[in-house]
Amino acid sequence: MSHTATNPLVPTTTAHDPRLAARGLVKRYGPTTALAGVDVDLGEGEALAIMGPSGSGKSTLLHVLAGILVPDEGTVRLRGRRVEGLSERERSLLRRGRYGFVFQHGQLLSELTALENVAIASMLDGEPRASAQQLAAQWLATLGVAGEQDRRPGEMSGGQAQRVAVARALVTRPDVVFADEPTGSLDQATGQEVMRILVESTRAVGASLVVVTHDASVAAWCDRRIDVRDGLVVAGQGPVCGAAPVAGVGHAGTTSVRTTSTAQDRVPA
Amino acid sequence: MNPVLALAPRFGRATGRDGRTTTALAIVAFALTTALATSVLAATLGFVERAAHPTSGVEERLGDTYVLLAYVATVLLVVPLLTLGGAAARLGVARRNDRLATLRLLGATPREVVGLTLVETATQGIVGAVAGTVLYVALLPVWTSVPFLGRTFTADELWVGPGVLALVWLGVPLLAVASGAVTLRQVVVSPLGVARRVRPPALRAVRVVVAVVAFAGFVVVSMFLQAFAAAAAAILIGGLALAFAAVNAIGPWLLGVAGRRRLRRARTPEDLLAARRLLDDPRAVWRVVGGLSLASFVAGALAVVPVLAEQSAGDADTRLLMQDILTGALLTLLIAFLLAAASAGIAQAASVLDRRRELALAHLAGVPTELFDAVRRREVLGPVLAASVGSAGLALALFFPLFGLAALTAPQGLLLLAVSLGAGVLLVLAATESSRPLLRRVLADPVVRAD
């Protein structure tokens, strides 16, 4: 490991090792440096917001953390295991099996129904179709879109489609959920509702969450937030990473998450 | 000039890599349509000329029959030709939907948006028609090597002349514009863009009307031609036309039924996706395999020709006629397979480009590329096999009573049928696989912002 120096903005973990740990990430596109040496730790069950203006490198950071892009320098460890050097195929398997994704829009397969879109994620993991669809139906019910299960993405509203996308991201019980501007194509109220569902249900399955956004009200739902400018982390806020979410108190978002959480928001057993 | 229409050349230059791919595909399709349509027309005119000015006794005796058979072949190929031309036009227009929706939001009138796109489509049609003419000339040596009525056509006989060429150069762009205009209706309806893949309205009644018109056309054509010395031939051809119409009318419906069955039985993600794509638009799938179905039906019907030839061993004219029918049928089949393959290739490329965002995002989320490859194969193989083997089987069943068990005593016909069907199916699959590199490029492309 080439970069072991600690960044003051990313405190070393104490009680828990981070679930996802990145050190010294550098990513260049030709003459442009998108990431200029970034360290990130993501704790067990932690929700982390990555903020920054357009062109700051925040999406590149998400892609490198998620194994979509390979960094030019630096390391990414998932539960202590290095993943940045895996082959394309291994990274695909990693993304499919251990990660979940929520994009801005257009990620649902347009010919499949909502139910099938969720079910296909577990079918890819080897789940038989019948039980995959059963599980998918439970998830859709939990996220409040049971009535949409036979509709196709083109027939749903943006908010409904994002709920289905959240269900699809979580149905495989991933270690980490990556969300890239998940509310980017939604109005303010719907966006807040989708964030509530995303944060609560991710926490309920014990997954960690990384949200890339330029919207502070979206970032406020997360336990912690880092700001990226010109490929560097320039500011961090929130508790020490690695702290279990139950221990996180007193920062934006968390309190309201907890108070609005009700029995019906819990994921299916 | 209208300021929006004046943008046309700029858009032509600024379409990027996908735009260039679709433009090239559309032009190739228009060129193929032009070349094969002109060749078929040339052969038909060649037979008309031979019948009008026979140079031998056999040409005098059989000339009119050959003209009739040439018309049959032409009619058989009209649907696949129109399908390919239409697919090319749709491809060009569909790819421009996003840009056109933006233009509408910016305040361009529907008329301007339609005009802008149709100018581009017509340009592609013209370029394709010119390229197709070159291809037609290049193909002349192939057609002039095939003997009919005891001698091959000369290049001179198969040269359609400037009049027909001018008609083709006008007709292909017009066809392109007409198909494009139909596709464009979706964009123009709403400035807020196009609902992706709305379910197409039921067109069953229209299809039946078309079938009836086609059948009536046959009757009219055959009445004009005084060639019906052999009334049996008329019944045979009329029966064929009716069967085609029936197959064409029930084909999409059958595909829909098959799709629902596949959906129920699907166990793997690839089965599920393939079934859903088939159900999504059975008509579009039928457009690809429909031509194949007609050609296979002909091939099935002609598998009995060797039996006929054997039965009429004594008559030299009949032997020649049977031999030439077989040759002509094989040529028709070859052209139909080429057209079906090109349509299938274009349809797959369009499907990849239309779904580029969802495919790329699914890939980012870890869906393996191989899944999409498997879906494509399943999506095409089932309908192609059903259309070709099913139609050929139907023809065999229809004609079996006519020739009875004699068919079984002349297995070379059935062998020829099996070989040509196998080759045709492989050709269509190969054309479909040609979208493989395009899929990989789309998946490798970071659709998400590079920021």
Encode pLDDT of B365-384 as tens digits. Answer: 888 889 999 999 888 888 88
Residue B444 touches partner A, C-beta closer than 8 Å:
no
Q: Which DSSP state fits B110?
A: H
Residue B278 has pLDDT above 70, yes or no: yes
**Chain-chain contact of B368 with A96 (C-beta, under 8 angstroms):** yes
Residue A234 structure tokens: 């320039």
Q: What is the mean pLDDT of residues B96-119?
A: 74
Looking at residue B451, its pLDDT comes to 35
Residue B192 touches partner A, C-beta closer than 8 Å:
no
Tell the CATH superfamily of the A20-265 domain: P-loop containing nucleotide triphosphate hydrolases (3.40.50.300)
* CB nearest to B273's CB, from A95, A101, A109: A109
User: In this structure, are strands A232-237 and A224-229 parallel, antiparallel, or unpaired?
Assistant: antiparallel
Higher model confidence: residue A239 or residue B257? B257
Residue B245 structure tokens: 């119409």
Higher model confidence: residue B417 or residue A70? A70
Residue A201 touches partner B, C-beta closer than 8 Å:
no
Q: How far is B71 from chain A (nearest CA, A)?
A: 41
Looking at residue B241, its pLDDT comes to 65
Which chain A residue is nearest to residue B370, measuring alpha carbons? A89
B177's CB contacts (< 8 A; 6+ apart) are B89, B118, B121, B122, B125
Q: What is the pLDDT of residues B115-164, one digit of tens each?
A: 888 888 899 999 999 999 999 999 999 999 999 988 899 999 999 999 99
Residue B273 touches partner A, C-beta closer than 8 Å:
yes
Residue B289 and residue B346: Cα distance in Å, rounded? 13
**Chain-chain contact of B197 with A111 (C-beta, under 8 angstroms):** yes
**Chain-chain contact of A59 with B451 (C-beta, under 8 angstroms):** yes
> Considering chain B, what percentage of its residues have pLDDT values greater than 90?
21
Residue B147 structure tokens: 């003997």
**Chain-chain contact of A129 with B272 (C-beta, under 8 angstroms):** yes
B69's CB contacts (< 8 A; 6+ apart) are B47, B325, B328
Residue B174 has pLDDT above 80, yes or no: yes
Contact B394, B300 (CB under 8 A): yes
Residue B435 and residue B347: Cα distance in Å, rounded? 9
Which chain B residue is nearest to residue A214, measuring alpha carbons? B451
Residue B243 has pLDDT above 90, yes or no: no
pLDDT band at residue A105 using 50, 70 and 90 as cut-offs: confident
Q: What is the pLDDT of residues B412-443, one digit of tens each?
A: 777 888 888 899 889 988 998 988 988 998 88
> Considering chain B, what percentage of its residues have pLDDT values greater than 70?
73
Q: How far is B70 from chain A (nearest CA, A)?
A: 42
Looking at residue A256, its pLDDT comes to 34
Instruction: Tell me, yes or no, if the pTM score tops 0.90.
Output: no
Looking at residue A13, its pLDDT comes to 43
* CB nearest to B269's CB, from A108, A123, A169: A123
Residue B204 has pLDDT above 60, yes or no: no
Residue B174 structure tokens: 């017009």
Residue A64 and residue A78: Cα distance in Å, rounded? 12
User: In this structure, are strands A176-180 and A99-102 parallel, antiparallel, or unpaired?
Assistant: parallel
Q: What is the mean pLDDT of residues B274-293?
A: 83
Cα distances (angstroms) measured from residue B177 to each of A143, A226, A240, B121, B191? 47, 54, 64, 6, 21
Higher model confidence: residue B240 or residue B191? B240
The whole-angstrom distance between residue B91's C-alpha and the CA centroid of its chain comes to 14
Residue B346 has pLDDT above 50, yes or no: yes
**Mean of the per-residue pLDDT values of chain B:** 78
**Chain-chain contact of B365 with A120 (C-beta, under 8 angstroms):** no
* Chain B CB contacts of A107 below 8 Å: 358, 361-362, 365
Q: What is the pLDDT of residues B27-73, one digit of tens each?
A: 999 999 999 999 999 999 999 999 999 988 888 888 888 888 888 78
Residue B325 has pLDDT above 70, yes or no: yes
* Residues recorded for chain B: 451
Residue B371 touches partner A, C-beta closer than 8 Å:
yes
**Dihedral angle of Cα A26, A29, A31, A36, to the nearest 10 degrees:** -20
* Chain A CB contacts of B195 below 8 Å: 154
pLDDT band at residue A89 using 50, 70 and 90 as cut-offs: confident
Residue A261 has pLDDT above 50, yes or no: no
Looking at residue B37, its pLDDT comes to 92
**Chain-chain contact of B196 with A68 (C-beta, under 8 angstroms):** no
Helix (H) / strand (E) containing B29: helix B16-52
Contact B118, B181 (CB under 8 A): yes
Bridge-partner residues for A26, per DSSP? A36, A73
Q: Which of B357, B370, B367 is nearest to A99 (CA)?
A: B367
Contact map slice: B 339-368 vs A, CB within 8 A: 355, 357-358, 361-368
What number is the ipTM of this complex? 0.79
Looking at residue A61, its pLDDT comes to 95
Q: What is the pLDDT of residues B208-222, one digit of tens each?
A: 555 556 556 655 555
Mean pLDDT lowest for which of A28-32, A244-248, B272-276? A244-248
Residue B405 has pLDDT above 70, yes or no: no
Q: Which DSSP state fits A68?
A: S
Looking at residue B226, its pLDDT comes to 46
Mean pLDDT lowest for which of A6-10, A191-195, B252-256? A6-10
Looking at residue B106, its pLDDT comes to 76
Residue A21 has pLDDT above 80, yes or no: yes
User: Domain-by-domain residue ranges, chain A?
Assistant: 20-265
Looking at residue B15, its pLDDT comes to 53
Residue B229 has pLDDT above 70, yes or no: no
Residue A232 has pLDDT above 50, yes or no: yes
Residue B203 has pLDDT above 70, yes or no: no
Chain A interface, best mutation among B197, B357, B363, B364, by max A CB count within 10 A: B364
Residue A253 structure tokens: 């978002």
Higher model confidence: residue A192 or residue A17? A192
Helix (H) / strand (E) containing A36: strand A32-42
Residue B245 has pLDDT above 50, yes or no: yes
Residue B210 structure tokens: 């078309």
Residue B202 has pLDDT above 90, yes or no: no
Residue B223 structure tokens: 């009445």
